[in-house]
Amino acid sequence: QVHLVESGGGLVQPGDALRLSCVASGDTFDNYVMAWFRQAPGKERDFVAAVTITGTGTFYGDSVKGRFTISRDNAKNTAYLQMGNLKFEDTATYYCAARRGPYYSSPAMYNDWGQGTHVTVSS
């Protein structure tokens, strides 16, 4: 089990960029696939991106492809989500999640979650 803490959320304008961080502690970080999900008020938790244990494999939700980049630094026990060209519809609470084993896009497949960091895109 890993303990996850997200940071980096905030209020930005459309077109801006923002980087989220997720620091893990507890179990060995590079045993875990890392993922980002987001949830807007009244909506389901949606898959944003995931990165494999080595960082060589990345996966993205359709709505963020080409704008967001997920990465990880195993030496720092940290996963990142670089968000670019932010849109109003990117407003949500962003959650970091971890799981052992292969990547999945379903939040039900992830056991460990952070508390979330909120991103608001507003003019």
Average pLDDT of 25-31? 92
Res 13 pLDDT > 90:
yes
Q: What is the pLDDT of residues 56-84, one digit of tens each?
A: 999 999 999 999 999 999 999 999 999 99
For the chain, give the mean pLDDT: 96
pLDDT at 101: 86
Average pLDDT of 18-44? 96
Given a contact cutoff of 8 angstroms between Cβ atoms, the answer to whether 92 and 119 are in contact is yes
* Phi, psi torsion values for 71, nearest 5 degrees: -155, 175
Look at strands 46-51 and 32-39 and give their pairing. Answer: antiparallel
CA proximity to 82, closest of 98, 70, 97: 70
